[in-house]
Amino acid sequence: MIRVSAARKLLEDGAPSIEQVALSVGYEDVAFFRRVFKRHSGVTPSAYRDRFRLRGN
């Protein structure tokens, strides 16, 4: 859960890629990261990041 929280922060700050976020928080398997993130957040990492991109425009 701590890694998911760190990933959320990176996504909120506009991280350029989901792959980079996954690696930054310690996941080598990006598909697994996406599943874990969605399980804990209710949305995919891309959808989560898009929420903040839309707010910034």
pLDDT at 55 over 70: no
Given this model, what pLDDT does residue 45 score?
97
Q: What is the CATH number of the domain that holds 20?
A: 1.10.10.60
User: What's the whole-number mean pLDDT along residues 6-18?
Assistant: 93
pTM: 0.88
Instruction: Find the domain containing 14 and state its range.
Output: 2-56
Given this model, what pLDDT does residue 52 score?
84
Tell me how far CA of residue 44 lies from CA of 28, 33, 53, in angstroms. 17, 10, 14
**In total, how many domains does the chain have?**
1
* % of residues, the chain, pLDDT over 70: 93
Given this model, what pLDDT does residue 27 score?
98
CB 21 within 8 A of CB 7: yes
DSSP assignment, residue 26? T
